[in-house]
Structure 1
Amino acid sequence: MKVTITTLQMHRPSSHAPRALPDEVRLERTVAVAPEYARFLYGLVGGPWFWTDRLGWTREQWVEELEVPGTEFWVLYGEGGPWGYVHLHPLVAADGTHVEIRYFGLAERAIGRGLGGPLLEHGIAAAWSLAERTDVPPTTRVWVHTCTLDGPAALANYQARGLVVCGTEETDEDMPGEPLGSWVSTGGPASAVARPIG
């Protein structure tokens, strides 16, 4: 499968505050995230698309990823459990902290409710204010990768929040014929999970 990967970035925070989220949801900051929960969120949000690269990760790989100082998850909760999340992954550089929006998205039950834009706005604001809550230098860059394996609104959503395209790349990936779905991706029994990529 041909996959187009797009990198976007911003070098200064938005002058607009994030929009308020509706009363039926709440957004919670979570640190020291258990690897089991991080993997569950990844599968819950990514299952309807083609998020497969980390399904084959070991627990130790998840632990190493989550132990990076300053890592935060912002989890959106609605009726019945999590409705989406933003995973912030900082890298301290010579000019300050570069914060990657490592993963962002909504669970299927939350799609179409107008939550994607406001959740991303809150995630971006949290990336810019990361040094206020953690022991990392001030943020100088917020960036993200998205690709044609993500939801169809992903790229436009990032651009609408002020992230600017700074690079594209095309690759060939060995992917299943269709998305695995959240049930299989979160560990539910089914036929064999496709070979992970990346």
Structure 2
Amino acid sequence: MPTDPAAPALPLGFSAVPPSHIAAIVTSLEMLGPPVPRPAKPLPDGMALHPLVRPDCKTYRDLYRAVGADWLWFSRLTLSDAALRAILDDPRVEILALHRDGADLGLLELDFREPETCELAFLGLIPDAVGQGLGRTLVNAAIEKAWSRPIRRFWVHTCTFDHPGALGLYRRSGFTPCSVEVEVAADPRLTGLLPRTSAPHVPLLA
């Protein structure tokens, strides 16, 4: 969830980031009711969005890395098997994969664990699937699935490490920005969670 708005603010001006760390500006967005549906191209022949029903940790992490390494997704990689297993086995967490010809191309994860709320926890495509209009299809599917349940709020966050089109896509889909935060974390490329070649658009400062 976004930070309490009463929390202390960052000082004005520049703030140093510790060595071997990264910093991202995180924008949270929300929608408080289902939006007007937007058209999307149908999935190409042979491609389908299907649920990953209680996947094992390795299967999930492999897809998570394939989709998120270039955008420095690391939060799920810091979890122990037991902690990750608790999420994957929770019926209030819905995980789907975009699948074609025996391979997974994308990840969509919806988290309904907070009452009357759904978080679009993760949405992304492997690099080879980007630029084909599939992101819009995944967002539309997420919106439809979220509002098929009795929720009052659907929210998502994106950051300056993500695909540069992500924020605009969410806004065009009916999400409204509601908070901005700065996240500082140890660089996952230096902790061994991700290859050092991941996210070349983010400087690696060892």
**What is the TM-score normalised by the length of structure 2?**
0.75
Could you say what secondary structure the match of 2:183 adopts? Answer: strand
Change in CA separation of 1:18 and 1:77 when aligned onto 2, cut-off 3 Å: farther
The residue number in structure 1 matching 2:25 is: 4
The residue number in structure 1 matching 2:5 is: none
The residue number in structure 2 matching 1:56 is: 78
Paired AA for residue 98 in structure 2: L
Paired AA for residue 52 in structure 2: T
Ranges in structure 1 where 5+ consecutive residues have no aligned partner: 132-137, 185-193
Contact 1:45–1:108 (CA<8 Å) still a contact in 2? yes
Which of the residues 122, 147, 172 maps onto 1:160?
Answer: 172
**What is the TM-score normalised by the length of structure 1?**
0.78
Following TM superposition, by how much is the alpha carbon of 1:11 offset from its aligned partner in structure 2, in angstroms? Answer: 1.1
CA distance in 1, matches of 2:166, 2:158: 7
CA distance in 2, matches of 1:75, 1:54: 16
Which of the residues 111, 127, 135 maps onto 1:89?
Answer: 111
The residue number in structure 1 matching 2:125 is: 106
Paired AA for residue 81 in structure 2: R
Could you say what secondary structure the match of 1:60 adopts? Answer: helix
Paired AA for residue 164 in structure 2: P
Which is higher, the Rg of structure 1 or of structure 2?
2
The residue number in structure 2 matching 1:78 is: 100
Following TM superposition, by how much is the alpha carbon of 1:58 offset from its aligned partner in structure 2, in angstroms? Answer: 1.4
Matched, 1:143 2:155: yes
Could you say what secondary structure the match of 1:12 adopts? Answer: coil
CA distance in 1, matches of 2:186, 2:43: 38
CA distance in 2, matches of 1:118, 1:182: 31
Could you say what secondary structure the match of 2:75 adopts? Answer: coil
Change in CA separation of 1:171 and 1:30 when aligned onto 2, cut-off 3 Å: closer
Ranges in structure 2 where 5+ consecutive residues have no aligned partner: 1-21, 199-203
Paired AA for residue 34 in structure 1: D
Following TM superposition, by how much is the alpha carbon of 1:28 offset from its aligned partner in structure 2, in angstroms? Answer: 1.0
What's the RMSD between the two structures over aligned residues?
2.5
The residue number in structure 2 matching 1:120 is: 139
Following TM superposition, by how much is the alpha carbon of 1:107 offset from its aligned partner in structure 2, in angstroms? Answer: 0.6
Could you say what secondary structure the match of 1:84 adopts? Answer: strand
Following TM superposition, by how much is the alpha carbon of 1:57 offset from its aligned partner in structure 2, in angstroms? Answer: 2.0
CA distance in 2, matches of 1:61, 1:24: 34
Could you say what secondary structure the match of 1:169 adopts? Answer: strand
Q: Percent identity?
A: 32
